[in-house]
Amino acid sequence: MPPSRPDPATLAATLPATPALPPVERWNPSLSGDMDLRITRDGAWYHEGTLIQREALIRLFASILRCDEDSHHYLITPVEKWRIRVDDAPFRAVRLDVTGTGREQILSFTTNVGDMIAAGSDHPLSVEYQTPGGEPAPYLQVRGRLRALLTRAVFLELAELGEERPSDQGRDYGVWSQGQFFSLGRLDD
């Protein structure tokens, strides 16, 4: 008699909530070449100029994405390494969840590809200014050298949680997460 099939709900309950990512940091194949794949600053993925609309395909590609020391981004498997073009950061932080307050606060971000990351020492927040006094570009370290650009709505929500703090250079405005203070910018006196 063949074994009975498990019911889908029972099978789903045995699977991890977030599947493990492939160990791309351990794979070192030779460069296979350049692929006509581009991730725009707004998080859209294009292959040969055509927008990729299948979320499952984007998530698959995101799971094998790596940024190397040369600052180039690659889709990588154990046997292939394809260089792709990323206009800014490959991911976008599209949601912010907050638990706790003050130094005990935890800021958890969700990316456009489903990663859930709590800002902290392993996943720092940073804000860059391309030009002095220009628009801020806020980032969250996701994994390896891969970052997520915070959407404007998420950054504004984050800024509402900020507080002033003295620093060596004057006063910083920033937020706490997992006991670590992250500066969002310096305040002028």
The pair of three-digit structure tokens given for residue 86, joined into one six-digit string = 């990323």
Report the relative pairing of strands 50-51 and 65-67 from DSSP bridges: unpaired
pLDDT of residue 10: 56
pLDDT of residue 2: 53
Rg for the chain (alpha carbons), in Å? 20
Range of the domain at 70: 8-86
- Does 154 lie in the same domain as 127? yes
Q: For each of the chain's 189 residues, which pLDDT tens digit applies?
A: 555 555 555 545 554 555 688 999 999 999 999 999 999 999 999 999 999 999 999 999 999 999 999 999 999 999 999 999 999 999 999 999 999 998 999 999 999 999 999 999 999 999 998 777 778 899 999 999 999 999 999 999 999 999 998 877 778 899 999 999 999 987 765
User: How many whole angstroms separate alpha carbon 11 and alpha carbon 6?
Assistant: 6
- Does 76 lie in the same domain as 96? no
Is the distance from CB of 107 to CB of 99 less than 8 angstroms?
Answer: no
- Does 61 lie in the same domain as 141? no
Which of 47, 66, 86 marks a domain boundary? 86
- Does 101 lie in the same domain as 51? no
pLDDT of residue 13: 55
Verdict on whether the full-model pTM lies above 0.75: yes
Give, in degrees to the nearest 5, the angle at Cα 61 between 58 and 65.
130
pLDDT of residue 48: 95
User: How many whole angstroms separate alpha carbon 180 and alpha carbon 106?
Assistant: 10
- Does 132 lie in the same domain as 98? yes
φ/ψ of 97, rounded to 5, equals -120, 140
| Residue type, position 152, single letter | R
Which of 86, 106, 141 marks a domain boundary? 86
Return the closest-CA partner of residue 23 out of 79, 69, 59, 63: 63
pLDDT of residue 135: 85
Which residues are CB-neighbours of 187 under 8 A, at least 6 positions away? Answer: 164, 170, 171, 172, 173
Does residue 2 sit within a domain?
Answer: no
